[in-house]
A and B are shown apart, each in its own frame.
Chain A
Amino acid sequence: MSSALDGEPVPPDLFASRRRRFLAGRGGVVASAVSGVVVIGGLAAVFWLAPGGATVRYFFFNPHFMWQAFVGDPSKGFYSVGLGLLTNLWIFAVAEALVLVCGMLIASARLSQSPVLLPFRLLSTAYTDVFRGIPILLVILMIGFGLPELNLGYVSNQSPAVYGCAALVVSYSAYVAEVYRAGVLSIPHGQLLASRSLGLSHGATMRRVILPQAVRTVIPPLLNDLISLQKDTALVSVLGAIETTRAAQIYSSTVFNFSGYAVAAILFLLLTIPMTRFTDHLIARDRARRLAGA
């Protein structure tokens, strides 16, 4: 009596290959250490030994010039790259707060149901389509050079940094609105049905059932957008606002050394890395929670 599914009477060989066994045991630790040294050491060697290596180190990573760029010296015609970061920071802080609120308003308009709100629904849809489609740099240029031309008194008499900040808000609100909306739409329809069948209104359902669940799914993508907002404060430099990138640019064209750019890059990393780590931590925690639920 044998069928196609009957196996051999004795399983032939159930052992993993020697290589697999080596990597699964202590060998794995050794292997990752060796590969780490080889890869990182290799990259360092290329950087150190390349024909132009010394030149690059001198022009981009010279500690003396880096420090000089960091502290700045207006008497010699260049600004502090370090102090420039304060401009990036306030632009980010203001833009972030406004983006989170505006994004929420736009998303609510798009998700509204009432016939009375139809015009807002159409406007908010058009808004997200338009501003997700235009490169941020263009929005910054149009607002930064357009509004002052309008001669609108207060509106036309702001500093470049303010226009840049406004442009970032305009652009990022469109992205963040879509993040919020996706979060709300990710909640199963049954949740809405269950809440409405209890006699809760649409508003109460949003407030007590949908949004509390949506917030959880929305936080990681939201943080991702805020990280890129942090970096994009550098774009405001095209309007002439003296922020970190602009200060580094001025330094390099005054002193003919690019080490200021390395300083600016390091400063941005110091800002963004804690946030990227935190975001990854939240994502991992969410994943663990989902795996535990399944």
Chain B
Amino acid sequence: MSEVVLELRDVRKRFKDHEVLTGVSLALSRHEVVCLIGSSGSGKSTLLRCANLLERIDGGDIELFGQSLLDPRVDPDRVRRHIGMVFQSFNLFPHLSVIDNILLGPVHALKRPRAEVRAEALELLGRIGLATRADDYPDRLSGGQQQRVAIVRSLAMRPSLLLLDEVTSALDPTLVGEVLDLLTDLARQGTTMLVATHEMGFARNVAHRVAFLEGGRVIEEGPAQEVLDHPREAATRAFLERVR
């Protein structure tokens, strides 16, 4: 745990006169899994979108491998090619088959040869047991399958880290397990992940660290067990009471 992949320093973000992030600081090291917890509306999604420049921030700094992303010479499209993102509502492209969903980024953003990426994509699909569904359209798949395809789609970019935004919240309870299992496997293989989640079991068992977001700031963070079992802050304790 040494090399810092992503670092947010005092990040602020406002929508009109509503300041959603009031100074978030958070660092993510290589091979580390950090779970971001906090009540609904606390700004988890906003924070993740700021981290890969889908939102323009109003203050503070974001660094990827020590390089500031606010530098005017930085091309946001290039930054995003190193950062995978998975959404609560999957956001697969409904007009493209499963395989074409996965190929879109590597072929059209990274300009890699289609045949080469296709072989990789099929191998990734095989790992989640969906190789035979490569030519199906997303609406033929269950929610759990769609979300696993969405995860594979971001992995096909070979990102340096993954941002996951409540990826199991839209799923039928019977399908949550298959997605969490995939994330657990990825964590074991050393994938660097920042995971906004309400799955406390996953946070406890898989995350290295947990950060609790409230009032637009990280008010408590530390090793998963410590924060979840012995929270220092009253607000964290109250939140954990509520989600238990």
Q: Which A residues fall within an 8 A CB radius of B?
A: 188, 190-191, 193-201, 204, 208-209, 212-213, 216, 293
Contact = CB atoms under 8 A, between A and B. Distances in A.
B93 A193 contact: no
B142 interface: no
B30 interface: no
B55 to A, nearest CB: 10
Secondary structure at chain A's binding surface: helix, strand, loop or mixed?
helix
Contacts of A199: 77-78, 80-81, 105, 109-110, 157
Please name the 10 residue pairs, one residue from A and one from B, whose CB atoms are nearest each other, closest first: A199-B81, A198-B105, A194-B91, A199-B109, A197-B85, A190-B91, A199-B80, A200-B109, A212-B95, A199-B77
Given A208-B108, A212-B95, A213-B95, A196 B54 contact: yes
B119 to A, nearest CB: 19
Most central of B49, B54, B91, B153 by chain A CB within 10 Å: B91
Nearest to B88: A190
Contacts of B117: none
Contacts of B105: 198-200
Contact of B87 (A194, A204, A213, A293): A194
Contacts of B139: 293
Contacts of B94: 213
Interface residues on B, range: 20 to 34
B154 interface: yes
A265 B106 CA distance: 56
B93 A209 contact: yes
B159 to A, nearest CB: 9
A190 B89 contact: yes
A198 B78 CA distance: 9
Interface of B: 49, 52, 54, 77-78, 80-81, 83-85, 87, 89, 91-95, 104-105, 108-110, 139, 150, 153-154, 157
B85 to A, nearest CB: 4
A193 B80 contact: no
Nearest to A197: B85
A293 B139 CA distance: 7
B111 to A, nearest CB: 11
Contacts of A208: 104, 108
B80 A198 contact: yes
A44 to B, nearest CB: 49
A46 to B, nearest CB: 51
A195 to B, nearest CB: 7
B170 to A, nearest CB: 11
Contacts of A190: 87, 89, 91
Given A193-B49, A193-B54, A293-B139, A200 B104 contact: yes
A200 B52 CA distance: 13
Contacts of B95: 212-213, 216
A278 to B, nearest CB: 22
Most central of A191, A198, A208 by chain B CB within 10 Å: A198
Contacts of B49: 193
Contacts of A194: 85, 87, 91-93, 150
B195 to A, nearest CB: 16
Nearest to B80: A199
